[in-house]
Copies of this chain bind each other. A is one copy, B any other.
């Protein structure tokens, strides 16, 4: 991922409405959610929601699919994974030992704790 793409993603997530909408879609999983329901859940006027969803979809963080007269939105988890990868790389560039600190930290401790690299 290039720097430009990263800033676009960060910009997308820098709005409270957009971050909330994305989190909501992540929680909904593959089922996604139609625009009206998102607007209701967020208590945001439809035109306002549309504005923010457009930004998210332009950045690629959400996908849209027409479903009858509804628009179904889904979170694009693979792009989010790419973003996490980018951040992880930026965090330890030239300093591998920092990566290890990262790997042993709680949030990423989905794998058993290494025996040696205790910080």
Contacts and interface: CB of A to CB of B under 8 A. Distances in A.
Q: What's the interface size class on A, roughly? A: 35 or more
29 contacts: A3-B16, A7-B19, A23-B90, A26-B92, A26-B93, A26-B95, A27-B94, A29-B94, A29-B95, A77-B91, A80-B87, A80-B91, A81-B101, A81-B105, A81-B107, A84-B87, A84-B88, A84-B91, A84-B102, A85-B106, A85-B107, A85-B108, A86-B107, A87-B87, A88-B107, A102-B110, A103-B110, A109-B118, A111-B113
Contact of A105 (B14, B85, B101, B113): B85
A105 B88 CA distance: 12
B111 A112 contact: yes
